[in-house]
Amino acid sequence: GAAELGPYRHYMQKEIFEQPRAIGDTLQGVESVTPELFGDGAYRIFKDVDSVLILACGTSYYSGCTAKYWLEAIAKIPTQVEIASEYRYRESVPNPKTLVVTISQSGETADTLAALKHARSLGMENTLTVCNVSTSAMVRECKLAYITRAGVEIGVASTKAFTTQLAGLFLLTLSLAQVRGKLTETQEAQHLKDMRHLPTALQAVLALEPQVISWAEDFANKENALFLGRGMHYPIALEGALKLKEISYIHAEAYPAGELKHGPLALVTSEMPVVTVAPNDALLEKLKSNMQEVRARGGLLYVLADADSKIESSEGVHVIRMPEHYGTLSPLLHVVPLQLLAYHTALARGTDVDKPRNLAKSVTVE
Ligand code: G6P
């Protein structure tokens, strides 16, 4: 009821603003990186596996897509991410030495549970879940688990569950890296320090809300939007597009920026806002030239730029500068303005933010 909402108008907005607390809780008690964070017997399993197969649906699938970049870059372990409903019905090549990782807010999504059972039926017994509900079927069915502490999520569009999943998946990356001899003590200490700083960093990103509201005023009367990202921010672009679709009913698509010229550039006009997730990483220069391609066709750019990047607002280019540069954990921060953009755009369009049409919080039947 209204009392629980406090100063917020919707659960989604409240849940977006709860993220510093949710991440803090999810990381509580994590003193060091160790496989034991995932349960008894994790060391033996982590030592034994030679690859990772992530299975999930919806927003949880996008946290898996982000984790693939971490797992391959930091833990040096080959990783596949697959939509659960696809995996369960296709013929695939099973590998008993794979770590099967399911990701689920509810722990009850029918397709994800069925995909897990399918993997097991193919002889893959090393199972782990990153899940927000400790009493769920998913946690019961998997050997290992990391329970995220987002708390109950009511808004159908997932927000705090996503960022806490990323926190759990980053810990999984570090633990696998450690067991595989890919993590020095200095690196471990630095990663833990960066993780502990996340609640403060998230708070600073949430303070950008007024700037995001001014973007949302432009988006409210559009019917299409394009989201571009590169590398580990491509899944963040996908999640930003999904959020906008789900609650504002604006058609949104995400593309890896390098694919722009292979199709979506044909759609760009002054009626098509293009959101660019542009952290100051090795791919920034390439992204800048993708942005020029959009501007040259009259497209309007909405750029999430890092604190120290040199992109400035100009005619047709709207820049929101992130408070700090965050390196590997940057996806957790960049998704927040995109959540707020979807929320405020939906608010301006007067849609039912917490209960979007045709969607359910948890899809427990196929
Ligand atoms: C539904 C929800 C999404 C969620 C997805 C997967 O589509 O509306 O927000 O991401 O299910 O749910 P899960 O509980 O498995 O994460």
Which residue of 15, 54, 60, 65 sits with most ligand 1 atoms within 8 Å of its CB, as the best mutation to test the pocket?
60
Q: Specify whether the CB–CB gap between 102 and 355 falls below 8 A.
A: no
Report how far ligand 1's centroid is from the alpha carbon of 108 (Å): 9
What is the Cα–Cα distance from 366 to 359, expressed in whole angstroms?
A: 13
∠ Cα 10 233 99 (to 5°)? 95
User: Can you tell me the distance from the alpha carbon of 224 to that of 246, in angstroms, rounded to the nearest whole number?
Assistant: 13
Taking the centre of ligand 1 as the mean of its atom positions, its distance from the CA of residue 58, in whole angstroms, is 5
Over the chain (366 residues), the average pLDDT of each successive run of 10 is 82 98 97 97 98 98 98 98 98 98 98 98 98 98 98 96 98 98 97 97 98 97 95 97 97 93 90 88 77 88 87 90 91 98 97 92 89
Does ligand 1 come within 6 angstroms of the Cβ of 58? Answer: yes
**85 C-alpha vs ligand 1 centroid, how far in Å?**
13
pTM of the model: 0.97
Q: What residues are annotated to the active site?
A: 361
Specify which residues 278 forms β-bridges with.
Answer: 305
339 CB less than 6 Å from ligand 1?
Answer: no
**Which residues touch 127 (CB under 8 Å, ≥6 apart)?**
99, 100, 101, 102, 116, 119, 120, 141, 142, 143, 144
| Burial classification of residue 122, based on how many CB atoms lie within 10 Å of its CB (0-12 exposed, 13-18 middle, 19 or more buried) | middle
pLDDT of residue 254: 97
Residue nearest to atom 8 of ligand 1 (CA): 361
Q: Give the CA-trace dihedral at 4, 6, 10, 16, to 10 degrees.
A: -100
Tell the residue number behind the tokens 């303005």, with chain if given: 337
Choose among 344, 267, 339: nearest CA to 300.
267
pLDDT computed for residue 162 by the predictor: 98
- Whole-number pLDDT of residue 202: 98
The DSSP secondary-structure symbol of 267 reads G
What's the pLDDT score for residue 278? 82
Ligand 1: residue of 65, 363, 366 to mutate (most ligand atoms within 8 A of CB) is: 363
Pocket lining: 110 vs ligand 1, CB cutoff 6 Å: no
pLDDT of residue 1: 53
> Is the minimum distance from the CB of 132 to ligand 1 under 6 angstroms?
no
Hey, which bits of the chain come out as E strands? 51-56, 79-83, 98-104, 127-131, 144-147, 224-229, 251-256, 273-278, 300-305, 317-321
pLDDT reported for residue 111: 98
Q: Is the CB of 361 under 6 A from ligand 1?
A: yes
Q: Which of 109, 160, 354 to mutate to test the pocket of ligand 1 (most atoms within 8 A of CB)?
A: 109
